[in-house]
Amino acid sequence: MVHNLGLQNSVFNQFISEIRCTEKQSDRLRFRRNMERLGEIFAYEISKHLEYSEREITSPLGVANMKVLSEVPVLATILRAGLPLHQGVLNYFDFADNAFISAYRRHHKNGKFDIALEYVSCPQIDNRTLIIVDPMLATGASMEITYKALLNYGKPKHTHIIAAIASMEGVDFIKRKLNPKEVSLWVGAIDDELTAQSYIVPGLGDAGDLAYGPKIHLD
């Protein structure tokens, strides 16, 4: 169920190291582009698990029998932090249908928070491959809520969840809550520590702020 691409030696880890690095994080363009690159690599690896069919492709000099994708996946993204990673996946599945979810941590004065889901825009996903993108998998609670919200639009034949960085707690939570026969988890790194405020350590910080600038929390 869990595919950790960071366990292999590849340029993928170079991009992971750069999105973590405080010296490079000040360059928002570079941060977004590195997230996009990670999305492209995730998409390539997931493409190996999709369905293909043989087609005759006509070139200027003849006909070639080629194996091409026989399905159009649906790409779903949790706003706003997921947008650069989503774009990378979309660069490879450029014909995909797309869904967007507004889910966020709603903080309370006692220091606790709950997950608020306010908006979902989604095509029909029944019997289709669904790919859900979110750069950070901390507790896993927002991902579970997002996944269950999307099931209102149909039952996917399989769901791939992508997170650039996950906590071990979040990974364990997803493994407990979601059916491994129906869901695969793709991560770039798994960090051991989760703070009392549910931030991943060492993690990378707030992916949305790093990509698009800081935000104001209104009580």
Tens-digit pLDDT profile for residues 144-192: 999 999 999 999 999 999 999 999 999 999 999 999 999 999 999 999 9
Residues 6+ apart with CB under 8 A from 143: 78, 132, 134, 137, 161, 163, 170, 174
Q: Where are the chain's structural domains?
A: 2-212
State mean pLDDT over 63-90: 95
The fold of 2-212 is: Rossmann fold (3.40.50)
Q: Do 135 and 149 contact (CB within 8 A), yes or no? A: no
| pLDDT average, residue stretch 119-146 | 94
Q: State the Cα–Cα distance between residues 213 and 39, nearest whole angstrom.
A: 21
Other C-beta atoms lying within 10 Å of the C-beta of residue 145: 17
| Mean pLDDT computed over 17-25 | 96
pLDDT per residue as tens digits for the range 53-74: 999 999 999 999 999 999 999 9
- Structure-block tokens of residue 132: 């859900």
Q: Is 25 helix (H, G, I), strand (E, B) or coil?
A: helix
Cα(40)–Cα(37) distance, rounded to whole angstroms? Answer: 5
Q: What is the pLDDT of residues 116-129, one digit of tens each?
A: 788 899 999 999 99
pLDDT (tens digit per residue) in 38-50: 999 999 999 999 9
